Amino acid sequence: MTSLPSLKELERRETDMILRYADDTEYIVDYITLRLRCPCANCDPRRDTEGRLTEFEAEVQLQRNEKPSIEKSGHFGLQFKWDGSGCNSGIFGFDLLHSIAKSCADE
């Protein structure tokens, strides 16, 4: 198993964030993508089937792409808090954040 580089810096911008890692890689992730990948017990099952995923994506696309506040969740990951509507309960492990960031770069 390959170890992930540690997150060195997270720069929050108005509609996206830049994740900078110790191995000098850098990725940009917009907040809508982050909301779509929420790992919480309410959001995760909404991606189980194509129909539910389509409905979930449409709902998230209606939300503002706004800059959230961030809370660290121990040494495990980060929790993003949006002022507007949407889910605020997902805790994004550092491994999940890295996976999301890499998938955005591959698109």
Helix (H) or strand (E) holding 86: none
Report the alpha-carbon distance of residue 38 to residue 92 in Å, rounded.
7
**pLDDT, tens only, 65-74:** 889 999 999 8
Q: How confident is the model at residue 84 (pLDDT cuts 50, 70, 90)?
A: confident
Report the alpha-carbon distance of residue 11 to residue 29 in Å, rounded.
10
- For the chain, domains (ranges, CATH) are 7-106 (3.30.2020)
Q: Are 73 and 90 a contacting pair, CB within 8 Å?
A: no
Q: Is the pTM of this model over 0.85?
A: yes
Give strand pairing partners of 7.
21
**pLDDT, tens only, 50-61:** 999 999 999 999
